[in-house]
């Protein structure tokens, strides 16, 4: 057992916290609800960011940057939007400090802002205020912008990566001439997220639409990708919104169409955040520590020499260094851990904790036999293999591990997804965890009643929902298809 990490079976929440801290992903900070993302954690985030950014560019988007501060008056222009976010906004009211009478620094009451500034919880309003000036004609459309930024939502209760007061994310904001085109964009970006989650994070997701209650404040439709965590709770990993003309109308963004008429533009917004880090951690990791998919692992292969007496050190280091170069030559991210201040066993445990997918150990015995010891983090297996061609073997192994992780997560999700047709089974299943596919009558009142009774929410109406006549699990009213219920993060 890994030292310092609570076992999942004992306390899942504590396991998660221990992992984040001990694997060096993040620290608690001096500010409540805010975290410090440490270099190793940030390296993973950077890889996510770069992969997503490439996908955004490939679908025609450009990056830009809008202000952190939003004038309070902007916020109130879209009624649903302000309702959704008002309760969790940080507000800047002053712009200067001064020395107080007791020698303490205090806010200078003279320096009160004429109009308070909201620290952005999301940027629709400040961005659409600019879009009004940017968009005149249908020739300016579509406008496809993304920004990488930090946002602040004053949450009551926070958890490292999963819900922090300040978090990093990207938010795409696009403007289109027609509703069809905007809807297409919304779905396209949902696909981008789903592909990223499955191909890069090795995390299977379900694409779906949110119910009215779960919808983004100000959206016409909210699409989402939902993932199932190891404890049986669902996690919303990304959202893509069709905003209709809500923000265009609120900010008076019109364009001249080809016929010379004036129309409001159609909008989308979409985002994923550092919450994905939490999803990644909970999707694959075990009681030994982090398990990272090779495509996102900052270090894919770690090489550990096994010294035997001082005279072997330089020989082994040279041999390992050569191995490292070979791995680098085929594009692997490889690290040599040749420090003499930790023994092999400690290093093994350490790199397992950090989730490095593959470990190569090389001792004198291997040098004599022309072999190395290869260990897989995901299966916790180790084998002695020929040293020749090891770089290509590792390269191939990366694909295998990536696939194994995805399949394992998919198998898990399948084993935790249940079709349920009566209320008693429903309650039992929800209590036990997992995704429950059940009929729902489509009413918000029923949704609320189910939530109050079981704490389960409708995660989404799956896009691939089968048309199937049934009756609502709760009310018995007719239903045309199953929706997914789960307790969620």
- Among 340, 388, 411, 421, which residue sits at the site for RNA (rule: CB under 7 A)? 340
Tell me if 485 contacts RNA by CB under 7 A. no
Tell me if 13 contacts RNA by CB under 7 A. yes
Sequence-separated (6 or more) residues with CB below 8 Å from residue 276: 48, 197, 201, 237, 238
- Among 363, 434, 442, 462, which residue sits at the site for RNA (rule: CB under 7 A)? 363
For residue 436, which of 402, 460, 467 has the smallest C-alpha distance? 460
Find the part of the chain contacting RNA (CB under 7 A) among 188-196, 293-301, 330-338, 341-349.
Answer: 341-349
Two structure tokens written together for 114: 């004429």
Task: Report d(CA 168, CA 180) in Å as an integer.
Answer: 30
Map residue 49 onto helix, strand or coil. Answer: helix
Q: State which residue, 300 or 479, has the beta carbon closest to RNA.
A: 300
- Among 8, 15, 25, 33, which residue sits at the site for RNA (rule: CB under 7 A)? 33
Look up tokens 């009004």; give the residue: 132
> What CA–CA distances, in Å, run from 230 to 12, 69, 171, 328?
9, 38, 28, 34
Map residue 228 onto helix, strand or coil. Answer: strand
Count of CB atoms situated within 10 Å of the CB of 9: 8
Count of CB atoms situated within 10 Å of the CB of 484: 23
Two structure tokens written together for 198: 């499955």
Q: State which residue, 236 or 240, has the beta carbon closest to RNA.
A: 236
Binding mask 198-217 for RNA (x = CB under 7 A): ----------------x-xx
- We find the least distance from the C-beta atom of residue 226 to RNA, in angstroms, to be 10
Binding mask 282-321 for RNA (x = CB under 7 A): ------x-----------------xxxxx--x--------
Tell me if 345 contacts RNA by CB under 7 A. yes
- We find the least distance from the C-beta atom of residue 431 to RNA, in angstroms, to be 12
Find the part of the chain contacting RNA (CB under 7 A) among 89-97, 194-202, 337-345, 396-404.
Answer: 337-345
Task: Report d(CA 345, CA 340) in Å as an integer.
Answer: 12
Q: State which residue, 152 or 192, has the beta carbon closest to RNA.
A: 152
Find the part of the chain contacting RNA (CB under 7 A) among 63-71, 99-107, 155-163, 425-433.
Answer: 155-163
Q: For the stretch 86-115, what's the b/e string if a residue is b when 16 or more beta carbons lie within 10 angstroms of its beta carbon? A: eeebeeeeeeeeeeeeeeeeeeeeeeeeee
Tell me if 246 contacts RNA by CB under 7 A. no
DSSP alpha helices (H): ranges in 196-312? 246-250, 275-284
430 strand-pairing partners: none
Two structure tokens written together for 350: 């350490």
Find the part of the chain contacting RNA (CB under 7 A) among 51-59, 350-358, 385-393, 433-441.
Answer: 350-358
- We find the least distance from the C-beta atom of residue 96 to RNA, in angstroms, to be 23
Tell me if 273 contacts RNA by CB under 7 A. yes
Strands of 312-434 (E only): list them. 334-336, 358-363, 371-376, 381-386, 417-419
Q: State which residue, 65 or 346, has the beta carbon closest to RNA.
A: 346
Find the part of the chain contacting RNA (CB under 7 A) among 96-104, 252-260, 271-279, 460-468.
Answer: 271-279
Two structure tokens written together for 236: 């919303």
Tell me if 230 contacts RNA by CB under 7 A. no
Find the part of the chain contacting RNA (CB under 7 A) among 188-196, 262-270, 345-353, 426-434.
Answer: 345-353
- We find the least distance from the C-beta atom of residue 257 to RNA, in angstroms, to be 33
- Among 127, 361, 391, 430, which residue sits at the site for RNA (rule: CB under 7 A)? 361
240 strand-pairing partners: 223, 270
- Among 346, 414, 431, 432, which residue sits at the site for RNA (rule: CB under 7 A)? 346
What's the Rg (C-alpha) of the chain?
26
Q: Does the CA dihedral 434-447-77-252 come out positive or negative? A: positive
8 A C-beta contact, residue 476 and residue 450: no
Tell me if 234 contacts RNA by CB under 7 A. no
- Among 24, 71, 344, 470, which residue sits at the site for RNA (rule: CB under 7 A)? 344
- Among 57, 96, 365, 414, which residue sits at the site for RNA (rule: CB under 7 A)? 365
Binding mask 52-91 for RNA (x = CB under 7 A): --------------------------------x--xx---
Q: State which residue, 111 or 432, has the beta carbon closest to RNA.
A: 432
Two structure tokens written together for 172: 């795409």
- How do beta strands 470-471 and 69-71 pair? unpaired
For residue 337, which of 322, 325, 348 has the smallest C-alpha distance? 348
Tell me if 96 contacts RNA by CB under 7 A. no
- We find the least distance from the C-beta atom of residue 26 to RNA, in angstroms, to be 11
Task: Report d(CA 248, CA 151) in Å as an integer.
Answer: 22
- Among 123, 146, 164, 211, which residue sits at the site for RNA (rule: CB under 7 A)? 164
For residue 442, which of 283, 209, 235, 267 has the smallest C-alpha distance? 209
8 A C-beta contact, residue 290 and residue 277: no
- Among 364, 385, 410, 463, which residue sits at the site for RNA (rule: CB under 7 A)? 364
Q: Where does this chain bind RNA (CB under 7 A)? A: 2-4, 13-14, 17, 28, 31-33, 84, 87-88, 153, 155-160, 162-165, 167, 214, 216-217, 236, 239, 273-275, 288, 306-310, 313, 340-346, 348-350, 352-353, 361-366, 372-373, 375, 380, 382, 384, 455, 488-489
């Amino acid at each position: 057992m890994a030292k310092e990490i609570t076992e999942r079976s004992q306390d899942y929440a504590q396991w998660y916290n221990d992992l984040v801290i001990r694997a060096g992903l993040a620290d608690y900070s001096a500010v409540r609800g805010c975290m410090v993302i440490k270099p190793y954690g940030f390296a993973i985030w950077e890889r996510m960011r770069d992969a997503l950014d490439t996908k955004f560019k490939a679908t025609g988007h450009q990056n830009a940057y809008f202000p952190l501060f939003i004038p309070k008056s902007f916020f109130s222009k879209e009624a649903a939007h302000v309702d959704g976010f008002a309760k969790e906004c940080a507000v800047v009211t002053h712009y200067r400090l001064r020395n107080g009478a007791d020698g303490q620094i205090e806010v200078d009451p003279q320096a009160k802002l004429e109009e308070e500034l909201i620290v952005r919880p999301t940027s629709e309003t400040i961005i659409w205020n600019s879009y009004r000036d940017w968009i005149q004609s249908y020739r300016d459309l579509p406008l496809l912008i993304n920004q990488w930024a930090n946002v602040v939502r004053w949450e009551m209760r926070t958890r490292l990566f999963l819900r922090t007061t300040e978090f990093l994310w990207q938010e795409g904001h696009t403007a289109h001439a027609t509703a069809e085109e905007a809807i297409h964009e919304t779905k396209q970006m949902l696909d981008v997220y789903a592909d990223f989650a499955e191909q890069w994070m090795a995390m299977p997701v379900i694409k779906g639409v949110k119910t009215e209650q779960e919808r983004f404040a100000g959206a016409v439709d909210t699409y989402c990708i939902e993932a199932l965590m190891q404890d049986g709770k669902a996690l919303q990993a990304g959202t893509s919104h069709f905003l209709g003309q809500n923000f265009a109308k609120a900010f008076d963004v019109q364009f001249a169409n080809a016929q010379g008429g004036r129309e409001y533009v159609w909008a989308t917004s979409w985002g994923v955040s550092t919450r994905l880090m939490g999803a990644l951690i909970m999707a694959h990791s075990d009681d030994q520590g982090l398990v990272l998919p090779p495509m996102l692992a900052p270090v894919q292969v770690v090489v550990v020499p096994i010294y035997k007496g001082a005279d072997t050190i330089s020989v082994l280091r040279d041999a390992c260094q050569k191995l490292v170069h070979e791995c680098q030559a085929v594009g692997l991210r490889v690290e040599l851990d040749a420090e003499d201040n930790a023994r092999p066993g400690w290093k093994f445990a350490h790199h397992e904790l950090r989730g490095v997918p593959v470990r190569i150990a090389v001792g004198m015995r291997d040098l004599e036999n022309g072999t190395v010891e290869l260990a897989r983090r995901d299966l916790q297996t180790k084998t002695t293999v020929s040293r020749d061609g090891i770089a290509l073997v590792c390269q191939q192994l990366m694909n295998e591990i990536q696939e194994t992780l995805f399949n394992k997560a998919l198998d898990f999700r399948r084993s935790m997804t249940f079709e349920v047709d009566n209320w008693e089974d429903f309650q039992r299943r929800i209590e036990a965890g997992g995704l429950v596919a059940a009929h729902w009558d489509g009413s918000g009142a029923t949704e609320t009643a189910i939530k109050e009774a079981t704490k389960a929410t409708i995660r989404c109406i799956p896009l691939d929902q089968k048309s199937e006549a049934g009756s609502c699990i709760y009310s018995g009213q007719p239903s045309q298809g199953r929706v997914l219920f789960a307790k969620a993060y």
